[in-house]
Amino acid sequence: MPEETDGAAFSLDPGEQALVSVPSMGSPLTALPDEAFENMLVVSATAAPGRVESIVERRGGDPSKVGVVPVTGSPSEYDGPLWTTDPVDPSDLTGISIRVSTAMEYVMGGGWVVVDNVNVLLMYGRVEQVFRLLDSVVSASREKGACGAYCTVRDAVTDETYDRLRGLCDRTITVE
């Protein structure tokens, strides 16, 4: 599996899935190519919909073309142009899966599916459960011909866990 380091931005071919190592602070959305914002679903455990909207706008994207599954233990209210699901607790992997499955209806071939922080899911779920969830998302993304970016802070996961996650993807990318 090819591994590459890219200091700023990366791109993927339609249907390609990548395990993306990101810095512990900041949003991986800032490293996506401009075309990602034309049709994107973000499973966000680190940024509320308002913050995702702000990043999309800063990148010159149209927030109405972006959907968010907010993964948070806190109630959140959002009334803006992003399409969002109801928030779901990070420990409710079944709930996350249901919301992602519903939201995938809006992802087109060449669109993007981004899980902004796999580490949060690993904090609340067993590795095997998180692996099954991501395997399902990767499969659905491939079927749609959508690009997939599954972001993790590499130093915060074991080598064994990282290797399992890497096995789901076509390549790994490190964003600095």
Q: Which amino acid is at 17?
A: Q
pLDDT average, residue stretch 38-48: 95
* C-alpha span between 19 and 2 (Å, rounded): 11
Q: Which amino acid is at 16?
A: E
Residue 21 bridge partners (DSSP)? 152, 174
34 has a pLDDT exceeding 50: yes
Question: Packing angle between helix 159-166 and helix 127-144, nearest 10 degrees?
Answer: 20
User: What is the DSSP code (8-state) at residue 117?
Assistant: -
User: What is the DSSP code (8-state) at residue 71?
Assistant: B
Burial environment of residue 40 by CB neighbours within 10 A (0 to 12, 13 to 18, 19 or more): buried
Confidence (pLDDT) at 119:
95
Sign of CA dihedral 46, 130, 12, 67: negative
**pLDDT bracket for residue 76 (50, 70, 90):** confident
Confidence (pLDDT) at 25:
80
- The residue behind tokens 């090819």 is 2
pLDDT average, residue stretch 70-94: 92
Which residues form the domain of 19? 3-175
The CATH number of whichever domain residue 170 belongs to comes to 3.40.50.300
- Total number of domains constituting the chain: 1
* C-alpha span between 14 and 93 (Å, rounded): 26
